[in-house]
Every structure is written in C-alpha cells, then in structure tokens.
Structure 1
Amino acid sequence: MFALAIDFTQPFEDAFSKLLSFIPNLLGGLVILVVGYFVAKVLGKLVGKLLGRVGFDQWMERAGVSGVLQRSGTGLTASAMLGKVVFWFVFLISFTMFASALGVPEISNFMSDMLGYIPRIFAAIVIICLAALFANFLAAIMRGATGNETASNGTAGYPADPQPPATHGASQGWSNGTPSNGNWPGGQ
C-alpha cells in the first residue's frame, strides 16, 4: 500500500510566516497613524487660533454664521469649527496612509474617494458664508428702504402672536372668529 504523507504543520507554518511578514507593516502603519493624529491636532489648533487672531469670528458674526453655529449647539466658534475641519482632513490623510501601509488597497481606495469630497465641503462652507453675507446685506437694504427695524429680529414685521380681529367673526355672526360650519370666506 501507498503511505500518504500529509504534512499537518505546513498550513500553520504558512500562516505564521504571513503573520510575521505583516507585523512590520502593522507597526509602520501605527506609527504613521499616531504621528498623523498629533500633526492633525497641532494643525487644527494652529488654524483655529490663527483664524481667531485675524478676526475671522467677527467676520462670521457679521455674516450671521456664528448665530447658526450657536443654534446648532456645538459650542464652537467659526474659527474653532474650521480648525476641527482641518484636523479631520489631516487625520483622514494619515488614515489613508495607514491603510496603504497595511497593504489593504480597498480601504485606501475608499479613503481616497472620501478625501475627494473634502474640497466640495470647503466650497459648501464658503457658499454658506457668502450667502449669509448677501442675506444680511439685502436685509440691511430692506430695513433702510422701508425704515422698518422689525425685520432685523427675524420676524419680518409680523407680530409675535397673531390674533384674528375680533370684529371679523362678530360681523358675520361667529362667536369665536371662525365659521361654525367650517366654510371660510373665499372657499378656504
């Protein structure tokens, strides 16, 4: 009879050698990720402070963007928000480099595609800032042309609690200002 020689240790040796060859890639990738994190943190803080010093927050306050940020509940100023955007941009670049160092092309391709959207995000932020400036400019023109300062509080001249005139319903025999049969004048 033929003796079958099966080597049970060969798959384990192959797996162990692949693991040992992967460890340098993993360590190099982790170094890239950690260094990238700290560089991103420093650049994000630097951009935030630099924009704060040149008066970017005051510009955004005049544009109305700061009010939007306050209502969003983030507690960040406009300069701090852009600092966060810079942090995430740099960190995503370092994460892409980390994925490339691991030798996983699917992750690095996906991250490269995500990085392609970041210029669109910056363009959207610029468009929002310009739109807010233009809206404030138009509101100032409207206030100046009409002499109406109530447009500045966002109500556009409407009273805070509109009430139907008391004579409207009373003149048509309605007790509470609305018709009892649900038929409004004008078919509404």
Structure 2
Amino acid sequence: MSNESQVVSEATTSAVNPLLNQVDQTGDALKQSYELVTGPILQWAPNVIAMLVVLVVGYLVARLAGRAITAVCEKLGLQIAAERGGWIDSMKQVGIERTVPQIIGLIVFWLLMCVFLMAGCEILGLEAVSDTMQSLVAYIPKLFVAAVIVVVGLLLATFLRGVIATSTDRLGISYAQQLAAACYYILGLMVFIAAFEQLEIKFELLSYAILIGFAAVALGFGLAFGLGGRDVMSGILAGYYVRQRMHAGDRVNIAGFEGTIRDVGPVATIIETDEEGLLNRHSVPNIRMLNEAVR
C-alpha cells in the first residue's frame, strides 16, 4: 500500500512541477516587462515634472512681460505713428487685425517662451533641440535692434514727410502731398532694408536699385537745373514771396494793365482783367509779379 502511495506522489509531483516552472517563468517575464515599462517612466518622471513646472512658470512670466510691453508701446504712441504712416491699412489688407503694440507684445511673449522651452529641453536632456533653440535665443538681440530701427525709422520718416509737405506747400507746389508721400515710402523701404540686413537677410539687389534710383533722380534734378531749371526755381521762390504780399482777390497793376489776382501758382500768377466788358485771364511769371506788380 505504501508503495502505491509513493508512486502516486511521484506521479503527482512530476505532473505539477512543469506547471510550477511555467508559472515561475511567466512571473519572471511579467516582472521584466513591468520593469522595462515602469523603469524609464520612473526615471524620467522627475525631469518631466520639472519641465512642466518650468513651462508653466515661463508661460506666466512671458504672459505678464508681453502685456507690459504692449502697455508701454501703447503709451509711446506706436499705434498712432503707424496709423499716420499708413501701415495699419497695409496690415489689414494682408489680414493682420492686431495693433502694433499687440504684435510687439506677442513677439516678446514667444521669445520668452523659447527661452523657457530651451530650459525645459535641457532638463529632459534633449541637447539637439536645446542647441537649436539656443541659436534662436541668440538671435533675440538682433531682432530687438531691427525692431528699434523700424520704429525709429518710421517715426523719422513720418516727421520728414510732414516737413516736406509743409515746405513744398508753402512754395505753392501743387503736388506737395504726393512728393511727401513718395519720400516717406522710399524712406520706409530703406528702413526695412536696414532692419532686414540687421537680421542678416540681404537685399543687395534691391539696395542697389534704390541707390541707382536716387542717383538718377539727383542727376535729373541737376540736369534740369543746369538746362533751364534755374528759371523754374526762381519762379517757385518768387511765388513764395508773392503769396506773402498778395492774395487771391487783390487788385494789381502790372505791365500797363489792371486786374484781379485769381491764383498764385508755383511759377506764374493768374490775373483776370475786364477789357471792354470781356473777362480775360493772363498768366504773369511770378518773378515779374514780384518786381513789377503794384497794388
């Protein structure tokens, strides 16, 4: 009987042992899989949490800085300067609805976010991404200088446009506003070229074209002045002084006839005379009006 029990026990053991070994192997495999999955997570978890904290803090700082810069730019009147310069209409035409201070504040926001993103990448050990963003951050001073060039340049161009418009209007030049606007846009284009060159974006061909254009205009003025433009300039200057002394509606006597001033143009004055009931208009050079007219 005991022999039979021993045989049964040995048979049971021989049948159960493979099952136990299989269970042990399965457990070891599950343990290894768990360690493979959770090991990196537990290893990276502190870094990920630290990166998230840096990004949250960076977002708050960048948000506050962007709003502060926007408020400062509004106080400086950059939006008003842009409206006077006609840049707001151009921005709306290309679909930009934000104000200039808001755009500058948004730029500051993303620049600061780049700084904090770079810090987060360094925490995670993403050196390639960190190096790329570090290059972008190193570009910030150039962006700042370019922005200063644009702002100061546009303010100066706006001021010069007003000076040119006022001066040429006093000289009686009918196209004073067009001339002032042309000078403004040329100066504005030069300002943007200077800003892009600060960003190491070259527009050599366009720069040469502008220089050639200026040279051609200067040469044209020189030739015009040398080939007869002196008389025109004399007439324009004489017209300026005539307008100081005489106005539309004044009665004058010049060259043997008497009439009424209707308009003092850039180089000549229009005088209306009544000759035997007929109204005639005469164009008298401003230089003669200045030297011969008697009120």
| TM more than 0.5 | yes
Deviations 1:2-56 (A, max 9, x none): xxxx986657635532221101101110111122112211211122123213433
Rounded to whole Å, the distance in 1 between the matches of 2:52 and 2:141 is: 27
Which of 98, 118, 128 aligns to 1:106? It is 128
The offset of 1:135, in angstroms, is: 3.3
Which of 110, 116, 121 is matched with 1:88 structurally?
110
Q: Distance in 1 between matches of 2:109 and 2:57?
A: 13
Matched-pair contact (CA < 8 Å) for 1:64–1:133: no
Instruction: Give 1 or 2 for the bigger CA radius of gyration.
Output: 2
- Number of the residue aligned with 1:149: 176
Question: How far 1:132 sits from its partner (Å)?
Answer: 2.4
1:77 aligned to 2:99?
yes
1:130 CA displacement = 3.2
Match of 2:19 in 1: none
Match of 1:40 in 2: 62
Alignment of 1:48-63 (within 5 A): 48-62=70-84
Aligned length: 151
Q: Residues of 1 paired with 2:147 and 2:103: CA distance?
A: 11
1:114-156 CA distance string (max 9 Å, x none): 1111222222222223332343344345432363334168578
Query: CA 1:88/1:55 → structure 2, altered by over 3 Å: closer, same or farther?
Result: same
Q: What SS does the corresponding residue of 1:73 show, helix, strand or coil?
A: coil
Unmatched 5+ stretches in structure 1: 1-5, 157-188
Q: Which residue of 2 aligns with 1:174?
A: none
Distance 1:99 1:108 in 2: 6
Residue 124 of structure 1 is aligned with which of 138, 146, 158?
146
Q: CA offset at residue 97 of structure 1?
A: 1.2
CA contact (8 A) 1:40 1:90 kept: yes
Query: Counting helix residues as a fraction of each chain, which structure ranks higher?
Result: 2
Could you state the TM-score of these two structures normalised by the residue count of structure 2? 0.44
Rounded Cα–Cα distance in structure 1 between residues aligned with 2:146 and 2:49: 37
Q: Which has the higher contact order (CA 8 A, sep 6+)?
A: 1
Give the equivalent residue in structure 2 for 1:181: none
Q: Which has the higher strand share?
A: 2
Mapped to 2, the partners of 1:153 and 1:70 lie a distance apart of 23
Distance 2:91 2:154 in 1: 12
Identity %: 27
